[in-house]
Amino acid sequence: MTERVAIILAAGVSSRMNTELAKVLHEVCGRPMLAYVLDACREVGVEKIYVVVGYGADQVKERFADDLDIVWVQQDKQLGTGHAVLCCKEHLADFDGQTLVLCGDGPLIRAGTLTILLEKHKTEHAAVTLATAVLDDPTGYGRIVRDLYGNIQGIVEDSDCTREQRSIKEVNPSYYLFSNKILFEALEQVKPDNVKGEYYLTDALSFIIATGHKVVAVTAVRPEEAMGVNSRMQLSTASKIMQKRIQQELMEHGVTIVDPDNTWIDARAKIGRDTVIEPFTYIHGKVKIGQSCRIGPFAYLRHGTVLEDDVVLGVFTEVKNSTLADSVRARHHSYIGDATVGRNVNIGAGSITANFDGEKVNRTTIGDNCYIGSGSILIAPLELKDGSHVSAGTVVSQESVDKLGQKEQTSVSK
Ligand code: UD1
Ligand code: CA
């Protein structure tokens, strides 16, 4: 089998984003853009990924410190996409396999499309296989220039287009599979003679075509997959598209989402079959929801929430870093933070865990079959035994529970 590596370009300064943060760290549905590109590479079996970093390099490396398949490559000056790839020369100059090149600012890429690209490359015995997409508004993208017979002649960047070329709607989504040696030979030829004065990867492609190598394209790429994120507007558009994908997948797995337009679910969330998500629910971070739960309307689930089966969370219920066992109910206006709640517990309207004492965050543990009356404040750290009964309107501290002694400990009231 041919060996294959990937290069992901992620060094650019993002002037259009107007940000201190490295562009590829901006999040789409809770995950940095780069994470999606990395996953797409992994899904098609790439085991070694060279990520070129420059602007905000330390931030990026720190965020992905656990990803051991990444080889970090530094590009000190951002002289263009061609130069960025050339920075990998010390690692790849002698590599005789295939190199997938992708941009870190293209989170909507799908592994399925990459698979088509890889297969086409193989069956056509190509030197380069690229993807192309047809956009209603191709502004900003490199245009695919073809000859009268439809053969690709090259890619011309938006800022270098003639008026005629600017009207071309077939664009370069910027993912390619190269025969590695041909790629690096061509990159040596690239000169920065263009409007931006940059070394373009797309010029390397024109060289490869000019030298008579076979370059083919996968033309059926969906417009959304071609989208590069260069501005905050595009970031929000990409997030919307990703959100739709996340919800579609959940629905295919048996989750009911009553109003997809008014629901937001993090890419890291997992939701079980026959759970119903009511409108205006916001799920952020790593959240796990079991089967047959009913969530919302207006629920807010945050990082570290684990709901087992048959849990009911209603309006204005917020849960953070907590585990709620089977059949817990918190139907109205509650805050449950840093808590472990046992099976079949009823949390009355307006009850909260007071988990922060001004200095540190403390845990609350509620046993099975407890009843927490409306408007109760559970001051953490606190442990309530199985079957405890807290009357409505009670402020409960560990001290007050301990004072009740062994006998009455299951019934706490004012
Ligand atoms: C690039 C393509 C364009 C394509 C578009 C798709 C080139 C010259 N142009 O344009 O044909 O239609 O993507 O989204 O390749 N980067 C570096 N180092 C650099 C410059 C850029 O690592 O010196 C990285 C950026 O961080 C980014 C990626 O390369 O992730 C693309 O760079 P960007 O400036 O966004 O290129 P576009 O103008 O979008
Ligand atoms: Ca871009």
Q: Which ligand is nearest to the CA of 226?
A: 1
Q: In this structure, what token pair is assigned to residue 364?
A: 């609350």
How many angstroms does the Cα of residue 285 sit away from the middle of ligand 2? 26
Report which protein residue has its CA nearest ligand 1's atom 35: 230
Q: In this structure, what token pair is assigned to residue 273?
A: 């079959």
How many angstroms does the Cα of residue 387 sit away from the middle of ligand 2? 58
Ligand 1 nearest-atom number relative to CA 80: 23
Report which protein residue has its CA nearest ligand 1's atom 37: 141
Ligand 1 nearest-atom number relative to CA 55: 26
Report which protein residue has its CA nearest ligand 1's atom 8: 200
pLDDT score, position 216:
95
Cβ-Cβ contacts under 8 Å for 181 (sequence gap 6 or more): 95, 96
- Helices vs strands, H then E, count in the chain: 11, 35
Alpha-carbon distance 185 to 205, whole Å?
Answer: 11
- Residue 125 annotated among the catalytic residues of the structure: no
Q: What is the pTM of this model?
A: 0.95
Residue 380 is classified by DSSP as S
How many angstroms does the Cα of residue 234 sit away from the middle of ligand 2? 10
Tens-digit pLDDT string for the chain (414 aa): 679 999 999 999 888 999 999 999 999 999 999 999 999 999 999 999 999 999 999 999 999 999 999 999 999 999 999 999 999 999 999 999 999 999 999 999 999 999 999 999 999 999 999 999 999 999 999 999 999 999 999 999 999 999 999 999 999 999 999 999 999 999 999 999 999 999 999 999 999 999 999 999 999 799 999 999 999 999 999 999 999 999 999 999 999 999 999 999 999 999 999 999 999 999 999 999 999 999 999 999 999 999 999 999 999 999 999 999 999 999 999 999 999 999 999 999 999 999 999 999 999 999 999 999 999 999 999 999 999 999 999 999 999 999 876 455 567 766
Q: Where are the beta strands (DSSP E) in 234-349?
A: 256-257, 264-265, 270-271, 276-277, 282-283, 287-289, 294-295, 300-301, 305-307, 312-320, 323-324, 329-337, 339-341, 346-347
Alpha-carbon distance 373 to 21, whole Å?
Answer: 46
**HSE of 285 in the Cβ direction (CA atoms, 13 Å)?**
11
Alpha-carbon distance 58 to 22, whole Å?
Answer: 9
Alpha-carbon distance 353 to 382, whole Å?
Answer: 9
Angle (CA) 168-174-177 rounded to 5° is 120
How far, CA to CA in Å, does 282 sit from each of 11, 141, 261, 266, 299?
Answer: 32, 34, 12, 8, 6
Q: Which of 28, 53, 103, 137 for mutating ligand 1's site (highest number of atoms within 8 Å of CB)?
A: 103
Pocket residues: Cβ below 6 A from ligand 1: 9-12, 23, 52, 75, 78-81, 83-84, 103-106, 141-142, 155, 157, 171-174, 200-202, 228, 230
pLDDT score, position 2:
76
3-state secondary structure of 306: strand
Phi/psi zone of residue 226: left (φ > 0), alpha (ψ -120 to 50 degrees), beta?
Answer: alpha
Q: Which ligand is nearest to the CA of 15?
A: 1
